[in-house]
């Protein structure tokens, strides 16, 4: 009973990743925060591929919820193994730093960065014991380049890149890899408020990417074929930045 655990998996990139990993034969442990309708809809789509999908509803930024629900699932499902972890859940709340509120800073940092710590520490122990695992963190162009109006988001994603590289070194000898995927402009709900026409002109490929294109990269990092790659950040941005 091998599982892939995807946070923020009911919509957007997380949903595409969940479906791609399900198509590769993984049972899916799917986390979402609040939208039960989308959670159940995605679960049905995943299970139509012939695998099991279990839903874990909790806020990844809430340490107590993570400890109670995720750790509870691990302890009550000893016969099941989380072989792939995709730390995908994230939020944006853009503002210029001079006008940014404490809550905008703290909420974005907590959801995008603290959640990596809260979740990964529970999952990695099982991977180390099995001497096999794949951890893929969803970062961003913003964490590499920095984006005006996204000081909070850029800081969180840059921090996650650093954590990716550090953890990769800690656990490589036990056969567990840690990599990151850094999307640029991708068509999802998170980019709905952006001027796609204007921003696409900045991209060498002259278009936004798709969630499915990001999912392909995640699936590669999750595969046995990526066994000698760790601590890497793969840019998926149509040539905008490398």
The mean pLDDT of 55-68, rounded to a whole number, is 97
**102 contacts: CB under 8 Å, gap ≥ 6:** none
Amino acid 194: pLDDT: 72
Across the chain, mean pLDDT equals: 95
Amino acid 189: pLDDT: 76
72-78 CB contacts, 8 Å cutoff, 24+ apart:
73/29, 74/122, 74/123, 74/126, 77/1
Amino acid 242: pLDDT: 78
What is the count of structural domains for the chain?
Answer: 1
- Say if 209 falls within a structural domain: yes
The mean pLDDT of 71-96, rounded to a whole number, is 95
Question: Which is the catalytic residue, given 117, 153, 228, 241?
Answer: 153
- Say if 136 falls within a structural domain: yes
- Say if 100 falls within a structural domain: yes
d(CA 87, CA 24): 18
| CATH number of the CATH domain containing 34 | 3.40.50.720
Range of the domain at 211: 2-236
Q: Read off the pLDDT band of 6 (50, 70, 90).
A: very high
Q: Read off the pLDDT band of 105 (50, 70, 90).
A: very high
- Say if 241 falls within a structural domain: no
Question: What pLDDT digit, counting tens, does each position of 136-171 carry?
Answer: 999 999 999 999 999 999 999 999 999 999 999 999
- Say if 242 falls within a structural domain: no
Query: Is 26 tagged catalytic?
Result: no
Is the pLDDT score of 226 beyond 80? yes
- Say if 143 falls within a structural domain: yes
- Say if 18 falls within a structural domain: yes
Is the pLDDT score of 195 beyond 80? no
Q: Read off the pLDDT band of 188 (50, 70, 90).
A: confident
- Say if 170 falls within a structural domain: yes
d(CA 51, CA 32): 19
d(CA 15, CA 143): 22
């Amino acid at each position: 009973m091998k599982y892939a655990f995807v946070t923020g998996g009911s919509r957007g990139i997380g949903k595409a990743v969940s479906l791609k990993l399900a198509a590769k034969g993984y049972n899916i442990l799917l986390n979402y925060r609040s939208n039960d309708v989308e959670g159940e809809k995605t679960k049905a789509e995943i299970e139509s591929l012939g695998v099991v999908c279990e839903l874990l509803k909790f806020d990844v930024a809430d340490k107590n919820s993570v400890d109670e629900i995720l750790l509870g699932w691990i302890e009550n499902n000893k016969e099941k193994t989380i072989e792939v972890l995709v730390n995908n859940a994230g939020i944006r709340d853009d503002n210029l730093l001079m006008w940014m509120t404490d809550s905008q800073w703290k909420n974005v940092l907590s959801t995008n960065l603290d959640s990596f710590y809260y979740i990964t520490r529970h999952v990695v122990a099982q991977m180390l014991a099995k001497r096999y695992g794949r951890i893929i963190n969803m970062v961003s162009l913003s964490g590499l380049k920095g984006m005006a109006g996204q000081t909070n988001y850029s800081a969180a994603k840059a921090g996650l890149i650093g954590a990716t590289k550090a953890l990769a070194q800690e656990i490589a000898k036990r056969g567990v890899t840690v990599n990151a995927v850094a999307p640029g402009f991708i068509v999802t709900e998170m980019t709905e408020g952006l001027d796609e026409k204007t921003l696409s002109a900045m991209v060498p490929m002259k278009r936004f990417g798709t969630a499915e294109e990001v999912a392909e990269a995640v699936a590669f990092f999750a595969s046995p074929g990526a066994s000698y790659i760790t601590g890497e950040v793969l840019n998926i941005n149509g040539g905008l930045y490398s």
